[in-house]
Amino acid sequence: MARTRTRIEDPKTQQNSAAVAERRARTQPVVDEAAGNSQPVVRKERTAPAARRGRRGLSLNIGGLLDRIPVVRNIAGYFRGVISEMQKVTWPSREETSRLTSVVLAVTIAFSIGLGMLDTFYSWWFRQAFHADSEWIFLVVGAAVAVVASGGYFAFRHRV
């Protein structure tokens, strides 16, 4: 089974491709006037061996080593992304944090009281259904809830 690789353009590869294009432009045939003939001579500019070795050879750089192992490269890339995103975060001030915390606590308390009241109502309502002498209360309350719910739906259906 053949494997294919897709290239993801990142700033490093764009810089490398620009460097390759520049090198190609420098290695175009040049007329050598010193030799006295008009034969084109190709002159290549080469980097020093030490500079090439640092780029292509094995290095002890942990980042370079991590980039050679696919699974570790993905994990390391994830954490690099997390670090870069965390540096972009604008953290709230102390006053804003305390204000937002109080809003969250107030909403939580209000909803817990509302759900507690709804639970109390439903438990009372269903207890009425199972008593023989008060099942008409269950039916009246059920009809009232149905009217209120359907009326609320028809009144607010255009706003939702």
Domains of the chain, residue spans: 58-89, 94-156
How do residues 50-92 score in pLDDT, each as one tens digit?
Answer: 444 444 444 445 557 767 777 888 888 899 999 999 999 998 9
pTM of the model: 0.40
> Is 38 buried (19+), middle (13-18) or exposed (0-12) by CB count in 10 A?
exposed
Number of H helices, E strands in the chain: 6, 2
41 and 30 Cβ atoms separated by less than 8 Å: yes
- What pLDDT, on a 0 to 100 scale, did the predictor assign at position 26? 63
**Residue 93: pLDDT band with limits 50, 70, 90:** very high
Is residue 125 very low, low, confident or very high in pLDDT (cuts 50, 70, 90)? confident
